[in-house]
Structure 1
Amino acid sequence: MLAPASALVSRHAQAGAQVEEPLADSVRGALSAAIGNSAPPKPSFDSTEARLAYLRWLGAMSTRLQRRKAEHITRVEFLEATWYESKRAGLEPALVLGLVQVESGFRKYAISSAGARGYMQVMPFWARLIGDGDPSRLFHMQTNLRFGCVILRHYLDVERGDLFMALGRYNGSRGRAEYPRAVLGARKAWLHPDG
């Protein structure tokens, strides 16, 4: 299953031509608030078992990601931030990792032909709409992951939980099957019982 999805990741970023859509003031405010907290990821757990499950997930994902991110500290920081931002947005970490694999091939400084940036290929207009207006910050790991997760959550809400349509909207290919299938296929390689 990993081969077909990984074949889609070329040297170029995969972001489509996501379009800027008008946002109601209340939506813009909610999205801005979701982006606003810039504190580093600090997971908290209700139980020792929950913390152990997280550590098992972190170890398994680190092993899987090692060939793409060789440096241990960089890999663990990326996974910690991905887990935190995924959970914060109510998303499955495997889905976010699959999206990052398809969008940027886990490259922090990826730029698509449409101008999308970073791991989750966030379009610069989002920095203006809900951020501080500085698109260069989209290359910061946590900022990029936070924007991407908040945007995907927004699209899931707009599409009333329809993941296929939300992924298409995220990529700018709403209604077409190629991108959602690629992300969902890549997601399978990142599934883990503790994540």
Structure 2
Amino acid sequence: MRRLSPRLLRCAAALALAGGCFGAQAGNQIYEPLAASVRAALHAAVSDQAPPDTRFTRSPERARWLDEMSRRLARRMPDEAGRLEFLRAVHYEATRAGLDPQLVLGLIQVESGFKKYALSTAGARGYMQVMPFWVDLIGTSDSNLFHMRTNLRFGCTILRHYLDIERGDLFRALGRYNGSLGRAEYPNLVRGAWENNWSYALFRVAQNP
């Protein structure tokens, strides 16, 4: 990812470490017409039902990841049962979309500050601040962007779509996600949150069984 100057990076890192929420800047994806084939593929990606995620009970490494991420998230999500459910869902939806769960946690921190019912001035909703036009494009009439699993499914699918458009360029994909393509502030805020709060050296993105 392209980088800011050291001074601006220090500012981004300080904001990330402070656990700030940048919702006023976040979640403003811009509507772009989609080819019918792309629209159909994205619709299929958000529509299939997620199976129960039992991998954490089978993998000591995933269990360690869950324990560590839960410890870090406890201040922002005090309810342990809800926190663990959220982290399992983040892990599942991120890896399903071929994303690093730590990146997704960093993005959620910047987008909503881990607030389930966050609503931006532009109308973006939920943890990953998904714009409602995506429901019309690829969802169904009962797609509720304030529902945890639905919001994470849409958000991860959209970020994967932008990564595919940008041929793996995370800087540009994050810019598209935020509606600020070409500007460095938002991508570096996400990277600062990811690297300073959610990095986990022992964790490797695993393929779904």
- 1:78 maps onto 2:86 in alignment: yes
- 1:61 maps onto 2:69 in alignment: yes
Which residues of 2 match residues 163-178 of structure 1 at below 5 A? 163-178=170-185
How far does residue 43 in structure 1 lie from its aligned partner after superposition? Answer: 4.6
With over 3 angstroms needed to count, the CA separation of the structure-2 counterparts of 1:116 and 1:174, relative to structure 1, is: same
Which residues of 2 match residues 66-145 of structure 1 at below 5 A? 66-134=74-142, 137-145=144-152
Structure 2 gap ranges (5+): 1-9, 205-209
AA partner of residue 62 (structure 1): S
Structure 1 gap ranges (5+): none
Aligned-partner Cα distance in 2 for 1:57–1:90: 17
Structure 1 vs Structure 2 CA RMSD: 2.1
Counterpart secondary structure, 1:73: helix
Aligned-partner Cα distance in 1 for 2:52–2:175: 28
How far does residue 31 in structure 1 lie from its aligned partner after superposition? Answer: 0.4
TM normalised by structure 2 equals 0.85
How far does residue 41 in structure 1 lie from its aligned partner after superposition? Answer: 4.3
Partner of 1:150: 157
Aligned-partner Cα distance in 2 for 1:127–1:161: 25
Aligned-partner Cα distance in 2 for 1:17–1:39: 27
Partner of 2:203: 194
AA partner of residue 31 (structure 2): E
Aligned-partner Cα distance in 2 for 1:171–1:41: 31
Counterpart secondary structure, 1:100: helix
AA partner of residue 123 (structure 1): M
Aligned-partner Cα distance in 2 for 1:32–1:88: 15
TM normalised by structure 1 equals 0.91
- 1:3 maps onto 2:14 in alignment: yes
Contact 1:89-1:149 at 8 Å conserved across structures: yes
Structure 1 runs (4+) greater than 3 angstroms displaced = 10-14
Contact 2:27-2:111 at 8 Å conserved across structures: no
